[in-house]
Amino acid sequence: MLAASASAQVEIQSELDWQRIFDDFAANGTIVVLDKRQTQAEMRVWNQARSQQRLPPASTFKIPHVLFALDAGVVKDEFQVFPWDGVQRTFADHNQDQDLRSSMRTSAVWVYELFGEQIGQDKAREYLSCIDYGNADPTGNTSTYWIDGNLRITAQEQVSFLEKLYLNQLPFDEADQRLVKDLMIVEAGRDWILRAKTGWEGQIGWWVGWVEWPAGPVFFALNIDTPNRLEDLHKREAITRKVLQSIAALPGT
């Protein structure tokens, strides 16, 4: 097992120009961007105070949760099918059989509830502590401790975790880390790949991930308030894309 190594210290720059992007979408939140395309990495932040506030990770937790499930033997591989239980849920894509790829893409929470039940709280705490994930607290009177339980993580901690995954430096089998990164692919161009995961717990929306370039990766973690609930969810990706485009970390539209 590998030891999870910490990211090198970088100077944090406050990006006031990004306020306009948040204002354009009438959104309150934060974004952390760690740009490693240069010899000297740059961390840029909008709303630094909020970037250090621990919040429920919601479905962004599916990224480490898959690693936990693979390591614990709860799931064999990406082809294992989890039969739908017949319960009608809000999102239609959840109401069908799932595998790792589909459950990551559609964010099918019920699959990860199964993982949580089979892994158990003690083993979950051990995994969380091992990767230094937020407050590493899987408690709460709920089967979804990453949504409405006590697990919390900051935007800056999200970026630190993602960097370790990118480098295959988490204490899990390297093949499993590579699989999770494959499951995270959202979009790709000729010379770049976007890997990311959304999250939403009702009041807070996340989009976290990174863009791979030949010169190096650009990591990001955004969270915003979602007072209008479903109507606000598109803002997660829209704001992040605008921010990344402003530093040429994603192609413009």
Q: What is the pLDDT of residues 217-250, one digit of tens each?
A: 999 999 999 999 999 999 999 999 999 999 999 9
What is the C-alpha separation between 48 and 155, in angstroms, rounded? 10
Residue 253 within a domain: no
Asked about 59 being catalytic, the answer comes back as: yes
In this prediction, residue 6 carries a pLDDT of 42
In this prediction, residue 5 carries a pLDDT of 40
User: What CATH number is associated with residue 146?
Assistant: 3.40.710.10
Closest residue by Cα to residue 10 from 35, 46, 47, 28: 35
Rounded to 10 degrees, what is the CA torsion of 230, 233, 235, 238? -130
Residue 3 within a domain: no
Residue 111 within a domain: yes
CA distances from 222 to 55, 226, 244 (A): 12, 13, 11
Catalytic residue among 5, 14, 51, 59: 59
The yes-or-no verdict on residue 14 having pLDDT over 50 is: yes
Tally of domains within the chain = 1
In this prediction, residue 111 carries a pLDDT of 96
Residue 4 within a domain: no
What is the C-alpha separation between 210 and 143, in angstroms, rounded? 29
Residue 5 within a domain: no
Residue 158 within a domain: yes
| Mean pLDDT to the nearest integer, 161-182 | 98
Residue 42 within a domain: yes
Strands 29-35 and 12-14: what pairing?
A: unpaired
Residue 7 within a domain: no
In this prediction, residue 86 carries a pLDDT of 85
Domain of residue 223: give its range. 12-246
| Mean pLDDT to the nearest integer, 49-53 | 97
According to DSSP H, which parts of the chain are helical? 18-24, 48-51, 62-72, 100-106, 109-119, 121-130, 145-148, 155-166, 174-183, 234-246
Closest residue by Cα to residue 160 from 133, 197, 185: 133
